[in-house]
Protein backbone atom coordinates (compact mmCIF):
# COMPACT_ATOMS: atom_id res chain seq x y z
CA UNK A 1 0.00 0.00 0.00
CA UNK A 2 1.29 3.47 -0.89
CA UNK A 3 1.14 6.30 1.65
CA UNK A 4 1.91 9.96 1.26
CA UNK A 5 5.08 10.89 3.08
CA UNK A 6 3.43 13.97 4.57
CA UNK A 7 0.84 11.76 6.30
CA UNK A 8 3.59 10.12 8.34
CA UNK A 9 4.86 13.40 9.81
CA UNK A 10 3.35 13.79 13.27
CA UNK A 11 2.40 10.10 13.44
CA UNK A 12 2.08 8.81 17.02
CA UNK A 13 4.58 6.16 18.07
CA UNK A 14 2.87 3.70 20.37
CA UNK A 15 4.61 1.36 22.81
CA UNK A 16 3.48 -2.26 22.77
CA UNK A 17 4.41 -2.78 26.43
CA UNK A 18 2.52 0.20 27.83
CA UNK A 19 -0.06 0.78 25.08
CA UNK A 20 0.53 4.53 25.29
CA UNK A 21 1.92 7.18 23.01
CA UNK A 22 5.67 7.47 23.52
CA UNK A 23 6.54 10.10 20.90
CA UNK A 24 5.65 11.23 17.40
CA UNK A 25 7.55 11.44 14.13
CA UNK A 26 9.00 14.82 13.22
CA UNK A 27 11.20 14.42 10.14
CA UNK A 28 12.23 11.52 7.88
CA UNK A 29 15.86 10.61 7.31
CA UNK A 30 16.06 9.49 3.69
CA UNK A 31 18.96 7.68 2.04
CA UNK A 32 19.43 9.49 -1.31
CA UNK A 33 21.22 6.52 -2.87
CA UNK A 34 18.12 4.31 -2.82
CA UNK A 35 15.31 6.69 -1.76
CA UNK A 36 14.46 4.72 1.35
CA UNK A 37 13.31 6.20 4.64
CA UNK A 38 15.72 4.62 7.15
CA UNK A 39 14.55 6.43 10.29
CA UNK A 40 12.47 9.27 11.66
CA UNK A 41 13.60 11.96 14.03
CA UNK A 42 11.09 11.85 16.86
CA UNK A 43 9.80 14.37 19.33
CA UNK A 44 8.11 13.88 22.67
CA UNK A 45 8.32 14.67 26.38
CA UNK A 46 9.38 11.14 27.39
CA UNK A 47 12.61 11.09 25.34
CA UNK A 48 15.83 10.98 27.31
CA UNK A 49 18.04 12.22 24.47
CA UNK A 50 17.41 14.93 21.90
CA UNK A 51 17.45 14.51 19.00
CA UNK A 52 16.30 10.90 19.12
CA UNK A 53 15.41 8.66 16.21
CA UNK A 54 13.36 5.58 15.59
CA UNK A 55 14.83 3.22 13.04
CA UNK A 56 12.35 1.79 10.53
CA UNK A 57 13.81 -1.64 11.33
CA UNK A 58 12.49 -1.24 14.90
CA UNK A 59 8.91 -0.45 13.83
CA UNK A 60 6.79 -3.58 14.33
CA UNK A 61 3.72 -2.33 12.50
CA UNK A 62 2.22 0.74 10.91
CA UNK A 63 -1.47 0.86 11.78
CA UNK A 64 -4.35 3.30 12.03
CA UNK A 65 -3.24 4.38 15.51
CA UNK A 66 0.35 5.02 14.45
CA UNK A 67 3.71 3.26 14.41
CA UNK A 68 3.92 0.46 16.92
CA UNK A 69 7.24 -0.38 18.59
CA UNK A 70 8.14 -2.68 21.47
CA UNK A 71 9.11 -0.04 24.03
CA UNK A 72 10.82 3.29 24.54
CA UNK A 73 14.13 1.39 24.51
CA UNK A 74 13.87 1.42 20.69
CA UNK A 75 14.58 5.16 20.58
CA UNK A 76 18.25 5.85 20.00
CA UNK A 77 20.33 8.98 19.95
CA UNK A 78 21.29 10.39 16.59
CA UNK A 79 24.98 9.73 17.23
CA UNK A 80 24.36 6.10 18.28
CA UNK A 81 23.84 4.75 14.74
CA UNK A 82 26.71 5.73 12.44
CA UNK A 83 24.82 5.21 9.16
CA UNK A 84 21.85 7.30 10.28
CA UNK A 85 24.14 10.01 11.66
CA UNK A 86 25.96 10.24 8.29
CA UNK A 87 22.66 10.54 6.43
CA UNK A 88 21.48 13.21 8.85
CA UNK A 89 24.72 15.16 8.38
CA UNK A 90 24.25 15.11 4.59
CA UNK A 91 21.09 17.15 5.14
CA UNK A 92 19.17 15.58 2.26
CA UNK A 93 15.65 17.01 2.09
CA UNK A 94 13.55 15.49 -0.67
CA UNK A 95 10.60 17.87 -0.36
CA UNK A 96 11.47 21.13 -2.10
CA UNK A 97 14.13 19.72 -4.44
CA UNK A 98 14.05 20.89 -8.07
CA UNK A 99 13.21 18.31 -10.72
CA UNK A 100 14.61 18.63 -14.24
CA UNK A 101 14.56 16.33 -17.25
CA UNK A 102 17.64 15.04 -19.07
CA UNK A 103 17.51 17.99 -21.49
CA UNK A 104 17.67 20.45 -18.59
CA UNK A 105 14.03 21.60 -18.70
CA UNK A 106 12.72 22.43 -15.23
CA UNK A 107 9.64 20.36 -14.37
CA UNK A 108 8.95 21.75 -10.90
CA UNK A 109 9.72 20.96 -7.26
CA UNK A 110 8.99 17.92 -5.11
CA UNK A 111 5.86 18.72 -3.11
CA UNK A 112 5.36 15.28 -1.55
CA UNK A 113 6.17 11.62 -2.15
CA UNK A 114 4.47 8.25 -1.91
CA UNK A 115 6.17 5.37 -0.16
CA UNK A 116 5.49 1.68 0.22
CA UNK A 117 4.12 1.10 3.73
CA UNK A 118 5.85 -2.28 4.06
CA UNK A 119 9.39 -1.33 3.00
CA UNK A 120 9.38 2.49 3.40
CA UNK A 121 10.90 2.79 -0.09
CA UNK A 122 9.79 5.92 -1.94
CA UNK A 123 7.90 4.88 -5.09
CA UNK A 124 6.60 8.16 -6.55
CA UNK A 125 7.41 11.84 -6.39
CA UNK A 126 4.59 14.40 -6.49
CA UNK A 127 5.87 17.38 -8.45
CA UNK A 128 4.39 20.85 -8.12
CA UNK A 129 4.66 22.79 -11.36
CA UNK A 130 5.90 26.35 -11.57
CA UNK A 131 3.45 29.26 -11.47
CA UNK A 132 3.00 29.61 -15.24
CA UNK A 133 2.70 25.87 -15.93
CA UNK A 134 0.33 25.37 -12.99
CA UNK A 135 -2.24 27.58 -14.72
CA UNK A 136 -2.58 25.17 -17.63
CA UNK A 137 -1.37 21.84 -16.23
CA UNK A 138 -1.81 19.80 -13.09
CA UNK A 139 1.05 18.41 -11.02
CA UNK A 140 3.22 15.52 -12.15
CA UNK A 141 3.78 12.06 -10.70
CA UNK A 142 7.28 10.70 -11.29
CA UNK A 143 7.88 6.99 -10.66
CA UNK A 144 11.21 6.02 -9.14
CA UNK A 145 12.13 4.11 -12.33
CA UNK A 146 12.17 7.44 -14.22
CA UNK A 147 14.86 8.93 -11.97
CA UNK A 148 18.24 9.09 -13.67
CA UNK A 149 20.28 10.91 -11.01
CA UNK A 150 19.96 12.68 -7.68
CA UNK A 151 22.61 15.30 -6.96
CA UNK A 152 22.96 18.13 -4.45
CA UNK A 153 20.77 20.52 -6.43
CA UNK A 154 18.35 18.52 -8.61
CA UNK A 155 16.61 15.30 -9.31
CA UNK A 156 17.15 14.43 -12.97
CA UNK A 157 14.46 12.32 -14.64
CA UNK A 158 14.10 10.70 -18.04
CA UNK A 159 12.61 12.96 -20.65
CA UNK A 160 9.53 12.05 -22.64
CA UNK A 161 10.16 14.67 -25.31
CA UNK A 162 11.67 13.48 -28.55
CA UNK A 163 15.06 14.86 -29.28
CA UNK A 164 15.16 16.86 -32.50
CA UNK A 165 16.56 15.08 -35.53
CA UNK A 166 19.88 16.44 -36.68
CA UNK A 167 19.60 18.83 -39.61
CA UNK A 168 21.11 17.43 -42.78
CA UNK A 169 22.98 20.01 -44.84
CA UNK A 170 22.25 19.75 -48.56
CA UNK A 171 23.50 21.57 -51.60
CA UNK A 172 20.85 24.07 -52.68
CA UNK A 173 21.50 23.25 -56.36
CA UNK A 174 21.06 19.51 -55.88
CA UNK A 175 17.35 19.63 -56.67
CA UNK A 176 16.12 20.70 -60.11
CA UNK A 177 12.57 21.85 -60.59
CA UNK A 178 11.41 20.36 -63.90
CA UNK A 179 8.68 22.98 -64.26
CA UNK A 180 11.09 25.83 -64.09
CA UNK A 181 13.51 26.11 -66.92
CA UNK A 182 16.20 28.67 -67.44
CA UNK A 183 15.67 28.82 -71.24
CA UNK A 184 12.55 30.56 -72.59
CA UNK A 185 9.75 28.40 -74.02
CA UNK A 186 8.75 28.77 -77.64
CA UNK A 187 5.15 29.10 -78.64
CA UNK A 188 4.34 26.12 -80.91
CA UNK A 189 0.79 27.28 -81.82
CA UNK A 190 1.90 30.63 -83.15
CA UNK A 191 1.09 30.54 -86.96
Cα–chain center distance at 133: 19
Enumerate domains of the chain plus CATH numbers. 2-90 (3.90.50.10), 98-157 (2.30.30.240)
Looking at residue 129, what is its pLDDT?
87
Q: What's the predicted TM-score (pTM) here?
A: 0.78
Q: Which residues pair with 54 in a beta bridge?
A: 40
Tell me the three state secondary structure of residue 172. coil
Looking at residue 112, what is its pLDDT?
95
Looking at residue 163, what is its pLDDT?
58
Looking at residue 133, what is its pLDDT?
66
Each of the 191 residues of the chain gets a pLDDT tens digit; together they read: 899 999 999 999 999 988 899 999 999 999 999 999 999 999 998 888 889 999 999 999 999 999 999 999 999 998 899 999 999 999 999 999 999 999 989 999 999 999 999 999 999 999 998 776 666 677 789 999 999 999 988 999 998 766 555 655 555 555 565 666 666 656 665 55
Strands (DSSP E) along the chain, which ranges?
2-4, 12-15, 21-31, 36-43, 52-55, 61-63, 66-69, 76-77, 98-101, 106-116, 122-128, 140-143, 147-150, 154-157
Nearest to 13 by CA among 50, 83, 85, 63: 63
CA distances from 119 to 61, 83, 122, 176 (A): 11, 18, 9, 67
β-pairing verdict for 2-4 and 61-63: unpaired
Amino acid sequence: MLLLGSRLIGTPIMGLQTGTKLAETAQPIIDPSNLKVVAYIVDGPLLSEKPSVIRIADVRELSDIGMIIDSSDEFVGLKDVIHINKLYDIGFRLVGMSVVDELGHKLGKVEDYSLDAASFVIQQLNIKRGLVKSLTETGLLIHRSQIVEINDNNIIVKTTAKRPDPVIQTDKHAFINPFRSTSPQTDIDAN
